[in-house]
Amino acid sequence: MKRNPIVPYILIMVMGLGLIFFLGIKGIGDAKELAKEREGGGEEEVVAFEPEAYANKACITCHGENLEGGGGPSLHGTGLSKDEVADILANGTSGGMPAGLVPADNIDEMAEWVANLK
């Protein structure tokens, strides 16, 4: 007795379509659950801004590894007030310091930290 060689392929196709159907139904349910979490249930963790950690990521490329000078001037003992440093961070300088490297919400914290570097 000869078996039809196409039967296993048809069975695999039917099982694949069934799997796709049931996973699609599950995905729709998960999407509704995720939407509910985004609307009001998801708590976001607020990370505090740390000036020293930020400086180690963003400032060392120009101001050197220890912020003692490199392509840019040393940040230690600048003699600038907090307000002057904040102005430089917000607006940049004509000497090469670009504006907007520090997020606007964190300029005051960063300016105070830089002004107090010894």
15 is known to lie in a ligand binding site: no
62 is known to lie in a ligand binding site: yes
Q: Are 78 and 97 in contact (CB under 8 A)?
A: no
Q: Are 76 and 68 in contact (CB under 8 A)?
A: yes
97 is known to lie in a ligand binding site: yes
Angle between helices 107-115 and 51-58 (to 10 degrees): 90
Q: Are 100 and 93 in contact (CB under 8 A)?
A: no
3-state secondary structure of 60: helix
Inter-CA distances, 58 with 3, 17, 46, 93, Å? 70, 51, 20, 17
Give the annotated binding-site residues for heme c. 59, 62-63, 97
Give the annotated binding-site residues. 59, 62-63, 97
